[in-house]
């Protein structure tokens, strides 16, 4: 079986999320690809060691494990 296409797609997605998080951490405004709402970065979540980047409507939600 050839997993190279899946590996490339996963790598591209990871890099896209990484760049999005870098922009949010710098204080830049980043919009959700689906609803165009402004994404927020919340590092003070109820779970210790966890953060979340999300849009107001919930179309985009990236859970971060901080350590």
Q: Which residue, 62, 67, 65, 66, is CA-closest to 20?
A: 62
Instruction: State the residue range of the domain holding 9.
Output: 4-65
Q: What is the 3-state secondary structure (H, E, C) of the chain?
A: CCCHHHHHHHHHHHHHHHHHHHHHHHCCCCECCCCCCECEEECCCCCCCEEEEECCCCCCEEEEECC
Indicate whether 66 pLDDT > 90.
no
Q: What's the number of domains the chain is made of?
A: 1
Taking the model in full, what pTM does it have? 0.74
Q: Which residues of 21-31 are buried (b: 16+ CB within 10 A; e: fewer)?
A: beebeeeeebe
pLDDT per position as a tens digit, 28-50: 999 999 999 999 999 888 988 99
């Amino acid at each position: 079986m050839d997993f190279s296409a899946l590996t490339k797609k996963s790598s591209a997605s990871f890099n896209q999320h990484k760049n999005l998080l870098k922009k949010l951490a710098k204080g830049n405004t980043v919009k959700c690809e689906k609803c165009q709402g402004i994404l927020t970065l919340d590092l003070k979540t109820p779970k210790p060691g966890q953060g979340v980047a999300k849009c107001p409507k919930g179309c985009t939600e990236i859970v971060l494990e901080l350590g």
